């Protein structure tokens, strides 16, 4: 109920606050997974957010690549439902001229199950971030908990084929245990007391499964508290996701072509 309440609060509350920022952009993502040895696998992801130039309350926000994050994780699969992972990520941020780089150390647990025709994945992640303000050269740290629910509805019979159309949706809430003080990235500017979360991501998409690859196009809504006045930054993004499953054995065969 807490995760659901968090999402509802972010999507429906505080819309009348004068200085909320509503911006638009594009969010391409690349995800690669594969097996290394037996039940040990990897997960590589690269994500970008590029914003359009917009005028909000007579102030111009120049379009730019606001975020670029790359992450690599080792995933240990315990059974067909449960896995855990450890990894590292690097981020580069440019938020209205304030630039930061960021090292991330990640740990997560994921659980997969089905409800009727729906495939549901729960992911609980801990992140320790070390953002560096490149203008002031001030280094700080932040601790964040993230919980995501990801639901997929296959529009084909997986017992007959591995290819076909599907629909997907997810919601992810962020809890800042300790926030950085050197900029808006990873900073604990404020929390909603009823849910104790400061950031939320929602995604809705449709895609096609090619077997070892998937491509989907949809909508992503990202919102976060950007200051202690509880003013929000809302991003409405066109999202393109590309998923590729590539095993270590496949990589080795490429070397000898």
CATH no. of 2-255: 2.40.160
pLDDT tens, position by position, 78-112: 999 999 999 999 999 988 778 899 999 999 999 99
Residue 8 clears pLDDT 50, i.e. is over it: no
Neighbours of 73 (CB within 10 A): 20
Domain ranges of the chain: 2-255
Q: What is residue 2's predicted lDDT score, i.e. its pLDDT?
A: 45
**What DSSP line would sit under the chain, residue for residue?**
-HHHHHHHHHHHSSTT-TT-EEEEEEEEEEEEEEEEETTEEEEEEEEEEEE--EEETTEEE---EEEEEEEEEEEEE-SSSEEEEEEEEEEEEEETTEEEEEEEEEEEEEEEEEETTEEEEEEEEEEEEEEEETTTTEE--EEEEEEEEEEEEESS-TTT-S-EEEEEEEEEEEEEEE-BSSSSTTB-----TTT---EEEEEEEEEEE-SSEEEEEEEEEEEEE-STT--EEEEEEEEEEEEEE--HHHHHHHHT-
pLDDT tens, position by position, 168-191: 999 999 988 888 887 777 887 656
Instruction: Decide if 198 contacts 188 (C-beta within 8 A).
Output: yes
Cα separations in angstroms, 42 against 123, 149, 199, 244, 250:
16, 20, 27, 12, 14
d(CA 10, CA 234): 10
Has this prediction a pTM greater than 0.75?
A: yes
Residue 239 clears pLDDT 90, i.e. is over it: yes
Residue 15 clears pLDDT 60, i.e. is over it: no
Tokens 């199950």 found at: 113
Rg (CA), the chain: 19
Cα separations in angstroms, 6 against 34, 51, 171, 257:
33, 25, 10, 51
Instruction: Decide if 202 contacts 174 (C-beta within 8 A).
Output: no
d(CA 213, CA 203): 19
**What six digits make up the tokens of 74?**
């080792």
Q: What is residue 1's predicted lDDT score, i.e. its pLDDT?
A: 43
**What DSSP line would sit under 204-252, residue for residue?**
EEEEEE-SSEEEEEEEEEEEEE-STT--EEEEEEEEEEEEEE--HHHHH
Residue 228 clears pLDDT 50, i.e. is over it: yes
Q: What is residue 16's predicted lDDT score, i.e. its pLDDT?
A: 46
Cα angle 50, 183, 51 (rounded to 5 degrees) comes to 10
């Amino acid at each position: 109920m807490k995760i659901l309440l968090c999402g509802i609060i972010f999507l429906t509350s505080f819309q009348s606050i004068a200085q909320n920022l509503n911006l638009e952009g594009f969010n391409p993502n690349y995800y690669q997974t594969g097996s290394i040895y037996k039940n040990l696998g990897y997960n590589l992801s690269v994500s970008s957010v590029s914003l359009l130039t917009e005028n909000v309350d007579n102030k111009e926000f120049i379009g730019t690549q606001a975020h670029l994050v790359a992450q690599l994780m080792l995933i240990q699969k315990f059974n067909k439902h449960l896995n855990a992972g450890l990894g590292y990520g690097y981020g580069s941020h440019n938020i209205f001229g304030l630039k930061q780089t960021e090292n991330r150390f990640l740990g997560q647990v994921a659980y997969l199950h089905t409800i009727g025709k729906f495939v549901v994945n729960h992911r609980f992640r801990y992140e320790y971030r070390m953002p560096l303000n490149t203008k002031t050269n001030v280094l700080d740290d932040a601790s964040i908990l993230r919980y995501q629910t990801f639901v997929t509805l296959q529009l084909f019979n997986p017992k007959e084929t591995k290819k076909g159309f599907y629909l997907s949706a997810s919601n992810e809430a962020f809890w800042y245990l300790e926030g950085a003080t050197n900029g808006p990235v990873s900073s604990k500017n404020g929390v909603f007391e009823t849910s104790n979360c400061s950031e939320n991501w929602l995604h809705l998409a449709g895609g096609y499964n090619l077997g070892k690859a998937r491509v989907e196009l949809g909508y992503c809504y990202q919102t976060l508290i950007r200051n202690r006045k509880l003013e929000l930054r809302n991003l409405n993004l066109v999202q393109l996701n590309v998923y590729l499953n590539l095993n270590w054995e496949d990589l080795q065969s490429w070397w000898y072509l």
